[in-house]
Amino acid sequence: MPDNPIYILAIESSCDDTGASVLANDKILSNVVAKQEIHEEYGGVIPELASRAHQVNIVPTVDIALKKAGINKSQLSAIAFTQGPGLMGSLLVGSSFAKSMALGLNIPLISVHHMHAHILAHFIDKGQEKPTFPFIGVTISGGHTQILQVNSFFDMEVLGETTDDAVGEAYDKTAKLLGFPYPGGPLIDKYAQQGNPKAFPFTKPKVEGLNFSFSGLKTQIMYFLQKESKSNPAFIKDNIADICASIQHTIVEILMDKIGKAVNQTGIKQIAIGGGVSANSGIRKALKDTEIIKKWKVYIPKFEYTTDNAAMIGIVGYYKFLEGNFADTTVVSKPRIEI
Ligand code: KG4
Ligand code: ZN
């Protein structure tokens, strides 16, 4: 570590997790996430409850992040925060906090695009190989499904994205139909590993180009379960592993089809994925297999840097700091922003 590293405090509050992280240059000193369990009983994130919980969590989360990092606030070089996209009420808590703290400490403020952060999480220094430009970035989570061509740190082009539900939403909504608690994606993944992926064939949506659509799949699965449960009320229980394996197989094929098209279209064979769904065993295996079969190079971040977290906001903050790309205090939160 150089003598005078840049210390950045980063704040993430775009959805239901309150995150705070401290970085010394591109190294993570702490990465704290306060989860909001309140949403579990509602089967999805309730925006009003999320913003209220951020208000409760933000101060202690930042405090713990600074203590864990062993850094005093007077040592901070800048404060980075998520500007958007995300839930307005949630974003506002993080941005207001970051602005006030930056003003109080008289240090620069850095606004960060949440999707840049999911991609640039691959540049957190963990002593591991990092992707080189250009590469294909794939963000798959409860809130996003995008394929991007990443030309440099801040030059990214969206090649395709979902036209309705995100892939994590498809997992969670389907999981709800199966009676799993929210978020049910990891449970579908767990049962899928014991089942037959070809037991129940589902039709894949036909969507132009590199875009996705998942809402039709969810409806198809709903009708299928209703029909089968009429003749056998215990159908779901009796076939849970095969149902999960079939759903997972379909979703993984949809993702892999489009990633394959992106590779063919661009000629780029480096793939870097991000977002909570990148923890999925099916997508990990399918991608890793391409390293042997198709000679792709696949980058999958550590789980703590791939779900919503502040360390990824901090790494973008670091690269923006190097460019002198600061925000002034009139910067506003944006639920939707172009990449
Ligand atoms: O990135 P993330 O923590 O938050 C955002 O949505 O931005 O992603 C959470 C999503 C949820 O939809 C969850 O069900 C899904 O990631 N997920 C999974 C797995 N682990 C998390 N989906 C499928 N298989 C998994 N193993
Ligand atoms: Zn996210």
Residues 207 and 219: their CA atoms lie apart, in Å, by: 16
Q: What is the pLDDT of residue 1?
A: 59
Q: In ligand 1, which atom is closest to the CA atom of 306?
A: 1
pLDDT tens by residue, 190-210: 999 999 999 999 999 999 999
Q: Which of 167, 307, 312 to mutate to test the pocket of ligand 1 (most atoms within 8 A of CB)?
A: 307
Q: Whose CA is nearest to atom 20 of ligand 1?
A: 186
35 falls in which pLDDT band (50, 70, 90)?
A: confident
Weakest mean pLDDT among 28-32, 180-184, 221-225, 257-261: 180-184
Give distance in angstroms: CA of 188 to centre of ligand 1: 11
Whether 2 has a pLDDT exceeding 70, the answer reads: no
List pocket residues of ligand 1, CB cut-off 6 Å. 15, 141-143, 168, 171-172, 183, 185-186, 189, 275-277, 279-280, 307-308
Q: Whose CA is nearest to atom 14 of ligand 1?
A: 185
Residues 129 and 223: their CA atoms lie apart, in Å, by: 45
Whether 106 has a pLDDT exceeding 80, the answer reads: yes
Q: Buried (b) or exposed (e) across 165-178, using 16+ Cβ within 10 A?
A: bbbbbbbbbbbbbb
Q: Whose CA is nearest to atom 8 of ligand 1?
A: 276
Q: What average pLDDT does range 46-62 have in this prediction? A: 94
Q: Give me the domains of the chain, ranges plus CATH numbers.
A: 7-121+306-323 (3.30.420.40), 131-300 (3.30.420.40)
Whether 40 has a pLDDT exceeding 90, the answer reads: no
Q: What average pLDDT does range 140-159 have in this prediction? A: 95
pLDDT tens by residue, 77-103: 999 999 999 999 999 999 999 999 999
Q: What is the pLDDT of residue 309?
A: 96
Q: Whose CA is nearest to atom 24 of ligand 1?
A: 280
76 falls in which pLDDT band (50, 70, 90)?
A: very high
Q: What is the pLDDT of residue 29?
A: 98
Give distance in angstroms: CA of 101 to centre of ligand 2: 24
Give distance in angstroms: CA of 289 to centre of ligand 1: 22
Q: What is the pLDDT of residue 41?
A: 76
User: What integer best gives the mean pLDDT of the chain?
Assistant: 95
Residue at token pair 């099916």 = 282
Q: In ligand 1, which atom is closest to the CA atom of 183?
A: 14
Q: Which of 40, 82, 141 to mutate to test the pocket of ligand 1 (most atoms within 8 A of CB)?
A: 141
